[in-house]
Structure 1
């Protein structure tokens, strides 16, 4: 059975729509490669050099940061939404994940294909262990090796790459999931989010710290206190790949009296 067959029609509409999940058979044959292949330095360099001019990036490091943002959105969105909203587990691993890098007319068009998509389930009183296994596979198993390779090949800061990941998770839970009204689902995703922020062990990320907690800067009041923004700690360099320069809404360069690190 294909990936879509393991979800209801409504569930699949969300996952394959805005969250861009799809079966590997539907991948872009010209702009896709296995995640594990990207750990080869020469393959990574070739991809970044090909993608740079397409997205308007002047350096490999900036290209790596912006590609990392896209991959963070695709990986965390599909996996964590399925986990927290549908209570179904997607296995994201280097050998089960396809990296697409389509970008046309100034916009990312890439999706997130999986080779084997049968959701992982859990038994009675096993959800916490199941959740840990999914999160460890996603962060420590998939994203950490990719970010290590990006850092080694380009010199881009691993802090930038991990904050790229963290802000995608914040947005997923605080914006996309906040639209859900069902009280049971809301209770589950709110509990998962708090666990990710405050209790998930650093080992689940393959690090000596929890990046979702570390980059959780308190909101700053702007517009004379009319609204608040949770500014990033690091800059993703998006403004250096746009002409004229555009800034993310949470860019630290826009934080009153501060500069990015």
Structure 2
């Protein structure tokens, strides 16, 4: 069954960079070229200038961090609303935006019609929803950006994974809506434990499962933190000026 997002649902997703109204022409960026390695190289040069990144690898890593919010808003809709958005590259317009000196693009969907989860068929519907997000969008973008910037996909996948962990652990599983909470726990377990690699692209094994681990206590931060397995290079940006508190470089891992 097809259905539009409600105004309330769109408003919630707007917190995660979902753009409700079509952006002005001068800030629209066609998303389709991001799945092509040569075109992505051209875009990275452009983004590099705005980010003031020292090299293509750093720009690529930051780009995927921004792109990870597409996964966040998509999975929020899947879990909280039982609605599957159309995130085919040809359906997306990136809304170019600089906020407080940071490049924080938004995502506008030309077709906002969603596939609603059929009653009693959620497991199969969820498999297709996960496949659509990763195999149809994130994997082609990562493949293009990895080739153009010569950056490991391990870094790119972890950049996406940490936002997925945050979404479920800090937002959806913490909700007071019991039904959403139960779905969130089940969906999160599926994403990090059960989902087969083929749902994520050309993989035999789940590419985000390896990044999930129990948080460990860090005395300096006086909190429990999940240390990354790869460095995202953000410390090389002038705007950052230091390492992330989850960076393996600060813990003697890299």
Aligned to 1:58: 54
2:88 matches 1:93:
yes
Unaligned runs of 5+ in 1: none
The CA RMSD measured in Å over matched residues stands at: 2.0
Aligned to 1:108: 103
Query: In 2, Cα distance between the equivalents of 1:199 and 1:94?
Result: 26
Contact preservation (8 Å) 2:85, 2:112: yes
Going from structure 1 to structure 2, the CA distance change for 1:38 and 1:224 (only over 3 Å counts) comes to: closer
Question: CA-to-partner distance for each residue in 1:202-258, whole Å, 9 max, x for gaps?
Answer: 000012221221111332221189532101100110000125622223111222x32
Query: In 2, Cα distance between the equivalents of 1:225 and 1:34?
Result: 41
Aligned to 2:4: 6
Contact preservation (8 Å) 2:173, 2:185: no
Aligned to 1:165: 160
Going from structure 1 to structure 2, the CA distance change for 1:19 and 1:52 (only over 3 Å counts) comes to: same
Going from structure 1 to structure 2, the CA distance change for 1:229 and 1:130 (only over 3 Å counts) comes to: same
Contact preservation (8 Å) 1:96, 1:114: yes
The alignment of Structure 1 onto Structure 2 pairs a total of residues equal to: 251
1:40 is aligned, of 27, 36, 46, to: 36
**Could you state the TM-score of these two structures normalised by the residue count of structure 2?**
0.91
1:241 is aligned, of 228, 237, 242, to: 237
* CA-CA distance at 1:69 after TM superposition: 0.5
Unaligned runs of 5+ in 2: none
Going from structure 1 to structure 2, the CA distance change for 1:225 and 1:159 (only over 3 Å counts) comes to: closer
Contact preservation (8 Å) 1:217, 1:232: no
Query: In 2, Cα distance between the equivalents of 1:182 and 1:105?
Result: 33
1:204 is aligned, of 184, 199, 203, to: 199
* CA-CA distance at 1:38 after TM superposition: 1.9
Question: CA-to-partner distance for each residue in 1:25-68, whole Å, 9 max, x for gaps?
Answer: 61353343332222333421221111112112011111011011
Aligned to 1:216: 212
Query: In 2, Cα distance between the equivalents of 1:142 and 1:244?
Result: 28
Contact preservation (8 Å) 1:91, 1:119: yes
Query: In 1, Cα distance between the equivalents of 2:80 and 2:184?
Result: 6
2:253 is aligned, of 226, 241, 258, to: 258
Contact preservation (8 Å) 2:91, 2:110: yes
1:123 is aligned, of 118, 122, 131, to: 118
Question: CA-to-partner distance for each residue in 1:132-178, whole Å, 9 max, x for gaps?
Answer: 11110111110111111111111011110111111110011111224
